[in-house]
Copies of this chain bind each other. A is one copy, B any other.
């Protein structure tokens, strides 16, 4: 029940029609008696820099969830950003610190890491292949680096994107081994599809599945269907994996921590969510 004491989480992007977060967060807030609400705000590019700042001047602003087309811009609008956000070149969450400064972070990759850990997998010291160095691939690579992988191989159909991401990773994690240019999963402990391949029927698979070790852990970002052709193939090979929506729900507890909300779990959020 929204009242005059309710804290606002602005969900800022454009267009808003496909937003899912209000239907995930708000039923959970209601069930748990948390006096906060996620409010969709359709803000277009020219208005966004001013709107973000003014939103945070509201006395009941708790934070923002940032989505298309503002994630990259946000990095330049906040006063401080996490290494993860800096590496990926984007923020998807902003909060106001006590001193009024705005702090940005990026939790897409954190969802990947948390989901993997909760499935019992160790990340520290492993070798990961991330295919796709766009927004979500950069986010996952940055979070894997933060989580302690020893080595990351990056591949993108635009080699320059992979090369630049590699540079940013090395700048923040000098001990990390980073290589660019091959999408061969042989010998990798973690293999991630961070490309849109699999969204459309007839898309090629992002890597040669028969070269993935059955002991590897495979991640997928495509969410158009739960089991994409890539996941079906790695499942047949015996690999453990996580689906796209796992990453979505696994990252939400990280936002709760960031916004200072009470701890939660992906299961509790899924149980309350009303995503029809």
Contacts of A26 in B (CB 8 A): 1-2
Assess whether A179 is interfacial by the CB under 8 Å rule.
no
How far does the Cβ of A77 sit from chain B's closest Cβ, in whole Å? 14
For window 2-27 of A, CB contacts with B under 8 Å fall at 2-6, 8, 14-20, 22-23, 26-27
Contacts of A37 in B (CB 8 A): 2, 39
Contacts of A23 in B (CB 8 A): 1-3
For window 28-51 of A, CB contacts with B under 8 Å fall at 37-44, 47, 50-51
Nearest residue, chain B, Cβ from A5: B17
**Residue interface bits A37-71, CB-to-B below 8 A is 1, else 0:** 11111111001001100100111110000000000
Number of copies of this chain that the complex holds = 2
Assess whether A245 is interfacial by the CB under 8 Å rule.
no
- Check A60–B1 contact: CB distance below 8 A: no
- Check B22–A41 contact: CB distance below 8 A: no
A39 to B3, CA, bound (A): 8
Contacts of A39 in B (CB 8 A): 2, 8, 37, 39
A5 to B23, CA, bound (A): 11
Using A6-B22, A19-B4, A22-B4 as known contacts, say yes or no to A58 and B38 having CB atoms under 8 A apart.
no
A200 to B58, CA, bound (A): 32
- Check B40–A17 contact: CB distance below 8 A: no
- Check B22–A16 contact: CB distance below 8 A: no
Assess whether A274 is interfacial by the CB under 8 Å rule.
yes
How far does the Cβ of A51 sit from chain B's closest Cβ, in whole Å? 5
How far does the Cβ of A145 sit from chain B's closest Cβ, in whole Å? 33
- Check B19–A3 contact: CB distance below 8 A: yes
Using A17-B5, A22-B2, A23-B3 as known contacts, say yes or no to A47 and B57 having CB atoms under 8 A apart.
yes
Contacting residue for A57 out of B16, B18, B51, CB 8 A: B51
A16 to B6, CA, bound (A): 9
Q: Could you show 8 A-B contacts with beta carbons less than 8 Å apart? A: A2-B23, A3-B19, A3-B22, A5-B17, A15-B59, A41-B58, A42-B58, A51-B57
